[in-house]
Amino acid sequence: MTKKICILGSTGSIGVQTIDVVKKLGIKVVGLSAHKNVELLIKQARDLNPDILCIGDEKYYTLLKENFPDKIVVTGEEGLISIATYPAADLIVNALVGISGLVPTIEAILAGKKVALANKETLVTGGKIIKMVLSQKQEKDSLPILLPVDSEHSAIFQCLVGEEKKNVKKIILTASGGPFRGKKLKDLQNVNVEDVLMHPTWNMGKKITVDSATLINKGFEVIEAMFFFDIRCEDIDVVIHPQSIIHSMVEFVDGSVKAQLSYPDMRLPIEYALSFPERGKQIAVPLDLVKIKNLTFEEPDFDTFFLLKIAYECAKKGESYPVALNAANEEAVKYFLEGKIGFVDIMKYVAKIIESHRVQKVETIRDILEIDAETRQKFKNLVEGEIS
């Protein structure tokens, strides 16, 4: 039977690569969503012939419906939920950017779907609630409902197949170090958006590329790993690995270490999530270690890239702290990409927000969304008060 999937965020970097993978695997796409890139969404829909389409920005609804009068066309948050819970789909690929990915993930799980998760914010902000929902839906000894798409978490997931949790001592997340590895704060005062978006090893969307430059993306991955793999943040290390060949490692109690290696290619973890528990066709270029010659490692610079240290602190404190961290960072990156603040200001303003944050309990989705909104407003008041 052909697997049927919906792709949330089909016009973004992960979404586009997912479409490349599904074509090679012969998977049927029954739903697509985009925020506002309606031109690309129309092209994808003509190519893949899905049943249902969602456009986040309502002003493009009429255009989309005119092009596809015979299809289900939905819009906004309710539209995302409609695609996330679409009855014909077996699996939902969540490639959305930002906290908008949280509710569709929860709704998809509640609807009995498997979710291939590329949206960091789902677990960073809602990890506690996702764990509760999964505990209600996950049957013992059944295949996982939530499958990682990030290269690091996919690597860990692959290393843990067939292993018992009690034998895991430590998770080691690798990071390229971004475009400013080896730089100090004084060197980063005048970098521009183009400098930041020139990632040395990965081709990604703008938001995650900026997060990689500040290393906060690795802090978010620590928080994600806590919930994905049920492990304390104290047992998760970050190691800088500039070649981006080892995508992460797991250390076991007997001292052995497993690693997953490949050239940097997001299609590989996407394919693994879509094919699991099988492996798909060969999509990635085979690894040639002789040509690579050297794999190097170094400690992160927590003083220059201090948001990584703050992310660890937020992970330990839990509850509302990761929600506030995510909201402040999303706003900071947006302001930076719009040219309103500098690169170092991203880290400075996020640090100020977290320093002033006071813990709040997170019991419901409403709690998360309220904390998110409050933090964003607080950030805007802080920044606009300083730059006006």
Residue ranges for the known binding site for NADPH are 11-14, 36-37, 119, 121, 205
**In 3-state terms, what secondary structure has residue 64?**
helix
What residue type is 187 in one-letter code?
D
Q: Give me the residues paired with residue 148 across strands.
A: 117
Q: What is the DSSP letter of 50?
A: -
Tell me if 116 sits within 8 A of 274, measured CB to CB: yes
Q: How far apart are alpha carbons 250 and 244 in whole angstroms? A: 16
Binding-site residues for Mn(2+) = 150, 152, 221
Tell me if 257 sits within 8 A of 249, measured CB to CB: yes
For residue 211, with 0-12 CB atoms within 10 Å meaning exposed, 13-18 middle and 19 or more buried, which class applies?
A: buried
Tell me if 160 sits within 8 A of 229, measured CB to CB: yes
CA 165 vs. chain centroid, Å, equals 24
Phi-psi group of 81: left, alpha or beta (phi > 0 → left; psi -120 to 50 → alpha; rest → beta): alpha
Q: What is the DSSP letter of 178?
A: -
Phi and psi at residue 176, in whole multiples of 5°? -65, -25
Q: Which residues contact 43 (CB under 8 A, 6 or more apart)?
A: none
What residue type is 176 in one-letter code?
S
Binding-site residues for 1-deoxy-D-xylulose 5-phosphate = 120, 151-152, 176, 199, 212, 217-218, 221
Binding-site residues = 11-14, 36-37, 119-121, 150-152, 176, 199, 205, 212, 217-218, 221
- Helix, strand, coil shares of the chain, percent, nearest 5, are 50, 15, 35
Q: Which residue intervals of 85-229 are DSSP H helices?
A: 102-110, 120-137, 151-160, 193-196, 206-214, 216-229
Q: Which residue intervals of 54-119 are DSSP H helices?
A: 61-67, 76-84, 102-110
Q: How far apart are alpha carbons 347 and 387 in whole angstroms? A: 16
